[in-house]
Amino acid sequence: MAKNARLNIAIMPSTKDRLVRFCKEKDISMGDVVDDALKNFFERLDRSNSAPDLVLDRINQLTLSVMQANLTLGQIKDYMESENNNG
């Protein structure tokens, strides 16, 4: 794949050293690693506000609400049963 864009970045020396070691071990270029890392970052960012995530969040909210309502009804039932047994 031909690269047609250039990016100059500043990173911590320890991060660069780790990147250089990784690239040597895997026999790949630093540009390929950075390119893949940026792609993964943007894909994850895009998914964070996607429609399925919003639907899942809403379903979780509804589930918690129903669970809380069931818990409260159970407590009311227990209270009513104890009142009927005591009175």
Q: What is the pLDDT of residues 71-80, one digit of tens each?
A: 999 999 999 9
Domain parsing of the chain, residue ranges = 12-48, 51-87
Task: Work out the average pLDDT over 15-22.
Answer: 93
Task: Work out the average pLDDT over 50-58.
Answer: 77
Q: And the tokens for 6?
A: 């250039």
Describe the chain by its helix, strand, coil percentages, rounded to 5.
80, 0, 20
Burial class, 45, CB count within 10 angstroms (exposed 0-12 / middle 13-18 / buried 19+): exposed
Which among 41, 42, 40, 20 is positioned nearest to 31, based on CA atoms? 20
